[in-house]
Amino acid sequence: MATSTIKEFLDAAASSGRFIIDPRERRKAQEIIRFWTAELITRGVNDWALPALARPQLQSAEPKRESAADAREQVPAGVAGSDEELVRSRAIVRISASARQWRESTDDGWLLQGDALREAERYVRDDDDIRALVDASRIAETQRSRRKIGILSTLVIVLLVFAGVVTYLLVRAVENQREIEQTLGAEQETSDAKDDLNKQLQESLNDQAKEALERQDQLDSRMAALQDVAKLLHRLRDQGQVNADEIPTILRPFVAALDQPPSLAPVAVDQFMRGYDSGFLQTSLVRNRSQAGAIGTFTIPLPSLTAAGRETAYEGGRPLPSINFSVVLDTVRRMPVFSAVNLQRSKIVSVERPIGTFQVDPRVPEQAQLSPEAFAGTDLDRGRLVNARDIAWGDAFSDDPESAGRIAFGVTNVMTNVTPRYPAFNRGPWVGFERYAREQFSEKSDRIIIFTGPIFGADDPTIDGMRVPQQFWKVLIASDPSSPGRLIVEGYVVPQDGGSMPAPFSPEAYRTRLAAIERLAKLDFGEMVRAADIASPSTARLAIPATQTGKDLVALLVQAQGADAEARASAMTQLMAAIRDLQGHESDLRPLADAIPSIAKSFASLGPEAQINMLTLLAAIPKTRWDSESWIDIKATARRALADAAAALGGCADTSQACTLMAGLKPKLDWSLASGRTILVRFAGLRRNDVKATDDKLKMLGWDIAAEDRTALAGGFNEVRYPDNEEDRRAAEVLAADLRALGRSSVRATKASGPAKSLEVWLSI
């Protein structure tokens, strides 16, 4: 039925009320009107008001025609129903419409709950659709209630289980605590018992040690007396006052021992202590097949000392011979000037290091050599110039490693073969340096010569009376097996620094021109060796004009970071040699040192090898130079570059060569001065963000920024204030230089009152 037809029907039905007097009939008519009104609402007609039956016409039997609007307005109070009845009817229509929507759509969204459900329950007898909707709504509400009850029950169960677990854990914790206390009590009792036993044992050992020392003192005293008697009898015998037959038999071995000359090696091998052989290197004389088998030799003499060197050398530079090597001793420094080793690789035997100590060389007065006891408490190693494994070859050595070790270490563990070295260097790069010479230099050559020595610098530090060389050199010589009559020569200078973690030995990093070594070590290797150094294809590109200065070499930094590997290696070798050669020339070294960190600041843009090159160059500059007051701003620039480099490598958490070099550089550049110090920053006229950015960069350098405080009192100041002590003064000077390197060019260090290890930075426009 069309909507318009339903509307016409409802108007007519409402008007028909004038002719219906029976109340029951009028209610039925009203229900019909409600039904079709609900149908309209179901169809989406929401602007249609529920019409009421017109009042009946009681005056005339013939009905009067009225409009539908008049019919809706006429609601007889006594017959058609009251206002409450109209409200009730409208509620039924509204709920019935919802019921029909639910029935047709089967959507649970039309189901009722709460007050709406309770309202609908009042009309279940008036409309079947309402009754069905209410029944379905009750079922849904019951299901919801059950779900809620289920969820709540589950939560209660979970909470009960959780409470049970917590209770169990608490009980176990209490039991564990009780067990721990009991165990600790038992352990304490056991510990007390052990302490008592240890105390008793220690007292017993102390008593035994005391008795042993007393017996040893008695034996030493008797042995000293015996030696005195032997010396007296020896002197009397030589003076003819006592015949040899008159000396008691028990004393004759002691007197006879005084007749033996001092010796380093057992008598059985004393005959092999012939020292360095200048004619050791051999070369083939084969020019054609008719000369097959002909062998010639090179004569490589010991390097000559300068006139000044001969004055301080032991016996004018006379070499002290040993098995397969010799040393020349400096009596002022009390250490070897150089050593010379003959090494034949094909005959090397294995050696085991025996238990033993270093001994003075009996051939030299004790005052002309370092004492073994001088190293006690110095944190220095007794560094040997000649390695025992380099000389363990030839007829003096058997195939028994233990026996060979006693001989090899016996002749090298003497103080005339010792120089003071820092442990990190002696047990790190130096080991690699020796291994390279023994195994990798001119690998196809069987016989090689190894010259080794310290470089005595004017600024070498003194530790407990010993001057510690900061650099060591080696010159390696071999005959070229592929080219008869040709020598192969390589020279190296390696620095040592007590405050650094040195990088592993690298031939490319430390290769040095022979002429530079001669100037540094004040030696003359002779024309043949120099000519071989210059003529060798592997070293020809390493030649550095003697007149070239540090300023001239700044341009080589570009090559050291270039793409050409050969040019890069050549530039690095020249730069490393220049840094070593210019140690004493401030005006020449400073421009080069100033340029290195400037390039290193762009570390992230460099390739991996160029990064290593920049760090290697920085590491080659000795700490004594970095500590110079005139270098503090260069040091600050280098510190800044190092921090940027670490950031570029992601904080340097690995053990790559670059990170190892940086770890060794930090002590040189005084990174430790920031440790344990608190920095307070006070500023005026500056933006806090700018100050914060500066502080972040200082933190990369290790400084601990405790607070930043804006205060008008900082106006006009640009300084680092430090308390009156030397360590804080040094730290303040470095911090001020760091600020200058960050663009605060006017910052200076100023002494002020305050607690130790606390610095104040005052900054303003």
Residue 187: the pLDDT is 64
Pair (611, 566) in one structural domain = yes
Residue 368 and residue 481 in contact, taking contact as beta carbons nearer than 8 Å: no
Q: Domain containing 735 — which CATH number?
A: 3.30.70
Q: How many Cβ atoms from other residues are within 10 Å of residue 258's Cβ?
A: 14
d(CA 258, CA 406): 24
Q: Please state whether the predicted TM-score (pTM) of the whole model is above 0.75.
A: no
Pair (647, 677) in one structural domain = no
Residue 128: the pLDDT is 82
Residue 222: the pLDDT is 66
Residue 477 and residue 487 in contact, taking contact as beta carbons nearer than 8 Å: yes
Pair (644, 709) in one structural domain = no
Pair (657, 676) in one structural domain = no
Pair (643, 678) in one structural domain = no
Per DSSP, the three-state class of 398 is coil
Tell whether 40 is covered by a domain. yes
Tell whether 222 is covered by a domain. no
Select from 538, 574, 582 the least CA-distant residue to 556: 574
d(CA 574, CA 493): 12
* Count of domains forming the chain: 3
d(CA 44, CA 3): 10
Residue type, 87: V
Locate 405 and state its tokens.
């070790």
Residue 195: the pLDDT is 65
Select from 684, 744, 734 the least CA-distant residue to 709: 684
Pair (45, 72) in one structural domain = yes
Determine which helix (DSSP H) or strand (DSSP E) holds 506, and give its type and residue range. none
Pair (637, 732) in one structural domain = no
Q: How many Cβ atoms from other residues are within 10 Å of residue 352's Cβ?
A: 13
Burial of 122 (0-12, 13-18, 19+ CB in 10 A): middle
**Domain endpoint, select from 110, 127, 155:** 110
Tell whether 561 is covered by a domain. yes
**Domain endpoint, select from 110, 126, 159:** 110
Ranges of beta strands (E only) in 248-288 are 282-284
Q: Is the dihedral of CA 226, 227, 228, 229 positive or negative?
A: positive
Tell whether 509 is covered by a domain. no
Tell whether 506 is covered by a domain. no
Boundaries of domain holding 742:
670-764
Burial of 653 (0-12, 13-18, 19+ CB in 10 A): exposed
d(CA 311, CA 306): 9
Task: List C-alpha distances in Å: 704 to 45, 675, 677, 708, 734.
Answer: 79, 8, 7, 12, 14
Tell whether 729 is covered by a domain. yes
d(CA 363, CA 275): 14
Tell whether 534 is covered by a domain. no
Pair (560, 661) in one structural domain = yes
Residue type, 42: T
d(CA 726, CA 564): 48
Pair (575, 591) in one structural domain = yes
Residue type, 38: A
d(CA 473, CA 514): 10
d(CA 418, CA 748): 45
Q: How many Cβ atoms from other residues are within 10 Å of residue 378's Cβ?
A: 13
Residue 413: the pLDDT is 94
Pair (651, 704) in one structural domain = no
d(CA 111, CA 138): 9
Locate 308 and state its tokens.
């000044």
* Residue indicated by tokens 């003497």: 414
Pair (554, 646) in one structural domain = yes
User: Mean pLDDT of successive 10-residue segments in the chain (765 residues)?
Assistant: 73 74 73 73 64 62 44 42 65 78 76 81 82 85 82 81 82 79 70 66 58 56 66 75 76 64 56 90 59 64 92 94 96 97 96 85 93 88 95 92 91 95 90 94 94 92 91 93 84 80 78 88 90 57 40 64 66 68 58 67 68 77 82 88 81 66 83 91 91 91 90 91 93 94 91 91 91
Residue 167: the pLDDT is 84
Pair (40, 86) in one structural domain = yes
Residue 149: the pLDDT is 84
**Domain endpoint, select from 94, 110, 126:** 110
Tell whether 388 is covered by a domain. no
